[in-house]
Amino acid sequence: MTETPRATPDVVTGSIRLLAEQGWEATTVDRLAQAAGISRATFFRKYGSKEDIVFADHAANLERLEQLLARSGAAPGADPAVALREGVLLVFRHHLDHRERALARNALLRQVPQLRDRELITSHRYERVLQRYLRSALPETPARATLATALSAAAVAVHNAYLRGWLRAPDTDPSAELAAQTERLARALVAGFGHPGAAPAGEPTAARARPAVVVTVLDPAADTEQVLASVRDALR
């Protein structure tokens, strides 16, 4: 896929807002170029098509993500869970730092179903960047490729869920919660695959290798002893 040229923030945001307000079909490239104060030929040369400019900032954002992960991978004793957390946070903060653009793009995507395919392709590109990093950063075991695939997909899914929540309530800032949940997810998945480096520093090695167990308590009145007894009965 051809990379989208980088556009200046004002032109990108203004163009997306114009497309959302005036309608996808009704807004021509000539109108976008006029609003940007440039010729039609210059608009095409710098920004490409209408679809290209809607996602123009992601090319630069993907590059920043790759650079962050490369720095992390080169650091001695780097923790993949921490690097994944910081990578997801970098992408999420980009939307929060460009609030008007993110809201305008979300409004446009809700109006134009055909743009959702491009959005999905963009998500897959972030996923592939994370997956490439994890394939080299995770402990070298037969399950590494599978874990990298699962973890990168899960991290992008969690990011997108938090992004949708923020778009519904843009005056909030769930960055800290997203960061904590992403790192927790990474450590749980790595531990589930039996990698000893999954737990935070200071936790005994034996505990790191324990399988993840999820217990759902259906009786809110049950006390700790009752829950433990039920678990013991289930394991017999």
pLDDT tens track for 12-39: 999 999 999 999 999 999 999 999 999 9
Please state, in angstroms and rounded to a whole number, the distance separating the CA atoms of residues 216 and 11.
Answer: 50
Q: Do 81 and 191 form a contact (C-beta atoms < 8 A)?
A: no
Q: Which domains does the chain have, with CATH numbers?
A: 57-208 (1.10.357.10)
Segment 182-199 mean pLDDT: 78
Does pLDDT of 51 surpass 80?
A: yes
Pick the more confident residue, 207 or 14: 14
pLDDT attached to residue 199 = 47
> CA 70 to CA 86: how far, in whole Å?
12
Top-confidence range, 57-61, 114-118, 175-179:
175-179
Residues in contact with 191: Cβ distance below 8 Å, sequence separation at least 6, in sequence order: 198, 199, 208, 209, 210, 211, 212
pLDDT of residue 74: 79
CA atoms of 55 and 62, how far apart (whole Å): 12
Query: Residue 229: its pLDDT value, please?
Result: 60
Nearest to 129 by CA among 58, 196, 183: 58
Q: Tens digits of per-residue pLDDT, 122-150?
A: 999 999 999 999 999 998 889 999 999 99
Q: 181: pLDDT confidence band, cut at 50, 70 and 90?
A: very high
Mean pLDDT of the chain: 85
Contact partners, residue 65, CB within 8 Å, separation at least 6: 87, 90, 91, 126, 129, 130
- pLDDT, greater one: 231 or 62: 62
Q: Report pLDDT for 204.
A: 43
Residue pointed to by tokens 């780097």: 78
Q: Residue 164: its pLDDT value, please?
A: 96
**Pairwise pLDDT comparison (230 vs 69), residue with the higher score:** 69
